[in-house]
Amino acid sequence: MPVPEPGPGEVLLKVGGAGACHSDLHLLEVPAGARSFTLPFTLGHENAGWVETMGPGATGFEPGDPVIVYGPWGCGLCMNCRQGIENYCQTPGKPSPGGLGGTDGGMAEYLLVPSTRYLIPLGSLDPREAAPLTDAGLTSYHAVKRSVHLLGPGSTAVVIGAGGLGQMAIQVLKALSSATTVVAIDTSADKLKIANTMGADEELVSGDDAVKQIKDMTHGQGAEVVLDFVGINPTLTMAAQVSRMLGHLTIVGLGNAALPVNFNSPAKECSVASPFWGSIPELIDVIALAQAGKIKMLVEHFPLDSAAEAYRLLHDGKIAGRAVITPND
Ligand code: NAD
Ligand code: ZN
Ligand code: ZN
């Protein structure tokens, strides 16, 4: 791709790392007629790197500064955007994240970032390692944040799907509430082993047995917080079965199945939400957590030429943590 020229207020980023997210696999499956982008299109919505050049009028950063890029680009002017909640921009058609529909993403040597407000300084963190913090990290952080008040001593949080996002969620749960028992559920024994190294207290194979064990652990009550990072029928069913009265059930995975909600299921007054990404202030929190050594992504690097291979491995469940494409290595 030609190197883009930053216009007024824009920034040209030299890409250090661009994470391969499972959402990209969902995007690749969208039928041609329903696409929100035109081909050729560059993927990569989980980006970090170094400031290359500042467009006319853009200030506050110097060439060479290591930065991470906030992904859901909103209008910047609506009530939500002005609070940094650009993931819930109120302007129709927004947010339009680069690499996820709309403009090109970060799986290229250079990425055009529309505004300096999307750049968060990384300090001593390496962009190649840090890139997943801006989606896997931020999305998980935001999903956990809505439930922190439920995570007191003796509480239980269930993480379904211990892949890129789930592994981050386990660490965030432990960082924000060390008193919470974190239960990881996955179909893969390898992922469950990794979940343990990330701080999970219990690792369970996905299915009916997991439901029974969580019920036993919680004296029949269920878990205060259930986070589903898959979102298919079997996982939503499990999530509802282990939900607790007055608890939270949070659907993050884009498996696109529907959760039946009626008087008896999920548990009474359990609130269900489907959050999308996170806010700019939350990304600043996530970077602070990483700088403090409280959260760290398990990263595998791939040169740009091997990006397709990275997606193949992700599709087959063979990426241990997160695949990160490094276009300038
Ligand atoms: P990933 O491929 O890294 O991880 C998915 C994990 O789920 C894997 O470990 C896999 O073994 C596990 N899994 C699959 N089927 C399962 C089952 N039946 N029971 C238990 N575990 C199962 O994917 P990721 O990048 O972490 O993304 C996870 C999901 O979150 C995707 O659907 C992605 O599109 C979505 N996502 C949502 C947002 C958002 O803002 N809501 C943001 C990013 C990603
Ligand atoms: Zn993503
Ligand atoms: Zn807006």
Buried b (16+ CB within 10 A) or exposed e, 175-195: bbbeebbbbbbbebeebbebb
pLDDT at 53 over 90: yes
Spell out which residues line ligand 1, taking CB within 6 angstroms.
21-23, 26, 135, 139, 160-166, 185-188, 191, 206, 229-231, 234-235, 252-255, 275-277, 314, 317
Rounded Cα distance, 213 and 261, in Å: 23
Tell me whether the omega of the peptide bond preceding residue 4 falls within 30 degrees of 0, making it cis: no
Model confidence over 171-215: pLDDT tens digits? 999 999 999 999 999 999 999 999 999 999 999 999 999 999 999
Residues 221, 317, single domain; the answer is: no
Kindly state the average pLDDT of the residues 54-72. 98
Lay out the sheet containing 202-205: strands in order across.
202-205, 181-186, 156-160, 223-228, 243-251, 271-273
Name which of 155, 195, 196 is nearest 179 in CA terms: 155
Give the number of the atom of ligand 1 that is nearest the alpha carbon of residue 319: 3
Q: What is the pLDDT of residue 36?
A: 83
Q: Is residue 248 part of a domain?
A: yes
Q: Is residue 3 part of a domain?
A: no
CA of 234 to the centre of ligand 2 (A): 22
CA of 95 to the centre of ligand 3 (A): 7
Residues 204, 120, single domain; the answer is: no
Kindly state the average pLDDT of the residues 228-245. 98
Residues 97, 207, single domain; the answer is: no
Kindly state the average pLDDT of the residues 254-275. 97
Q: Whose CA is nearest to atom 9 of ligand 1?
A: 163
Residues 212, 246, single domain; the answer is: yes
Q: Is residue 261 part of a domain?
A: yes
pLDDT at 101 over 90: no
Could you give the number of structural domains in the chain?
A: 2
**Domain final residue pick, 273, 294, 310:** 273
Q: What domain range is 16 assigned to?
A: 11-135+278-326
Q: Is residue 17 part of a domain?
A: yes
Kindly state the average pLDDT of the residues 46-72. 98
Q: Whose CA is nearest to atom 39 of ligand 1?
A: 276
Residues 63, 102, single domain; the answer is: yes
Q: Is residue 2 part of a domain?
A: no
Residues 226, 303, single domain; the answer is: no
Residues 243, 285, single domain; the answer is: no
Please state, rounded to an integer, the average pLDDT across all residues of the chain: 97
Residue 51: band (very low, low, confident or very high) from pLDDT cuts 50, 70, 90: very high
Q: Is residue 5 part of a domain?
A: no
Tell me the CATH number at 65. Answer: 3.90.180.10
Model confidence over 298-314: pLDDT tens digits? 999 999 999 999 999 99
Residues 113, 234, single domain; the answer is: no
Residue 320: band (very low, low, confident or very high) from pLDDT cuts 50, 70, 90: very high
Check residues 30 and 106 and name the one with the higher pLDDT. 106
Residues 121, 107, single domain; the answer is: yes
